[in-house]
Amino acid sequence: MRHREEGGLGRVLLAPRLLPIVCAAGWSAVVLVAGCASSAASGGAVPIDEISGPVSAATGTGAPVTETTTRAPGAPDPIVEAVGDVLGGQAVIPRPVGDEGSRPRVTDDRVFILGDSITESAGPDYYDTIRRQLVPLGWNPTIDAQRGRTTPQGLEVLKRRRRDVHDVAVVLLGHNDAIEPEVYRKRIEAIVEELADVPLVLLLTNYQFEKGRDRMNDELRVVDALHDNVELVDWNAVVGATEGAIGPDGLHLTRTGARALAATIAVSLGVAPGGAGEVTTGP
């Protein structure tokens, strides 16, 4: 059985609130997400969804939202709406001064997603939330995510699979890296350099699960300001505003968190060049 998932997503980096589908056709994406810190919790990437009660994220802005298991057909997804509100409000990271805020024209609907356990939990082997959010928007996602992957390892995977990368990249790397901001910046710069011919690179901030991680995010802001093809998306703010996103280990995603990550990517990308698609309910 095939069905179409309802609910449009807006282009939040340019709009104050989540709107119905308003993104111009002609975008495509490579989503590059990695980083789950072995230094902080369990050294691997098994998604945590066994929580005895509400689990609040560490810090962030916006009203918390909890996952609802049922809603009327066609009703908006509360998590998607909340993510749109966070990214479109005070938590959104503005483009550099002098940047027009316009995106380059891209035409390919293939999305390459690279990550560690955080992304893995939202991939097809676990909650499969990324595919379910992106396919209805017309994207064709490929997910390469593995537990414990560091930023340098992510770069090596990117180099091996470079021909699978097309018009847009979304990068979330660093949770498995040590808190060495300058070193981290050089590693992210190497990723951006590898993607220099990619028209649009979305960087996602790290979840600040321990002291010092905010300094890693500060380096992402610098990288964002130095590269015209880079935009920054505040995943840390989404986590902070999504009640129950993080499991008892303080790092890994619950089902709610996996849905929030997928919504963050989907809201940031908007509609694919070819328009809306369909998603199957099967495995």
pLDDT at 117: 83
Q: Look at residue 205 and tell me if it is in a domain.
A: yes
Q: Which DSSP helix (H) or strand (E) runs through 141? A: strand 140-145
* CATH at residue 251: 3.40.50.1110
Query: CB under 8 Å to 106, separation ≥6 — which residues?
Result: 26, 27, 28, 29, 166, 167, 168, 199, 200, 273
Residue 207 pLDDT grade (very low, low, confident, very high; cuts 50, 70, 90): very high
Domain count for the chain, please give it: 1
Q: Look at residue 65 and tell me if it is in a domain.
A: no
Tell me the residue range of the domain where 203 lies. 27-45+74-96+104-273
Mean of the pLDDT values across residues 117-142? 89
Q: Look at residue 21 and tell me if it is in a domain.
A: no
Summarised one tens digit per residue, pLDDT across range 162-184 is 999 998 777 888 889 999 999 99
pLDDT at 219: 96
Residue 269 pLDDT grade (very low, low, confident, very high; cuts 50, 70, 90): confident
Q: Look at residue 156 and tell me if it is in a domain.
A: yes
pLDDT at 50: 33
Query: CB under 8 Å to 223, separation ≥6 — which residues?
Result: 185, 188, 189, 192, 203, 230
pLDDT at 147: 87
- Half-sphere CA count of 6, side-chain side, radius 13 A: 8
State the DSSP string of 11-51.
-TTTSSS--SS-PPS----EEEE----TTTS-SS-PPP---
Q: Look at residue 16 and tell me if it is in a domain.
A: no
Summarised one tens digit per residue, pLDDT across range 82-127 is 998 888 754 445 444 345 556 667 688 887 888 888 888 888 999 9
Please state the φ and ψ torsions of residue 106, each to the nearest 5 degrees.
-130, 150
Are residues 234 and 87 in contact, defined by beta-carbon separation less than 8 angstroms?
Answer: yes
Query: Residue 131 carries which side chain, given as an amino acid letter?
Result: R
Q: Look at residue 120 and tell me if it is in a domain.
A: yes
Q: Look at residue 11 and tell me if it is in a domain.
A: no
Query: Residue 81 carries which side chain, given as an amino acid letter?
Result: E
Q: Look at residue 8 and tell me if it is in a domain.
A: no
Summarised one tens digit per residue, pLDDT across range 23-74 is 333 444 555 554 444 333 333 333 333 333 333 333 333 334 444 445 666 6
Are residues 180 and 213 in contact, defined by beta-carbon separation less than 8 angstroms?
Answer: no
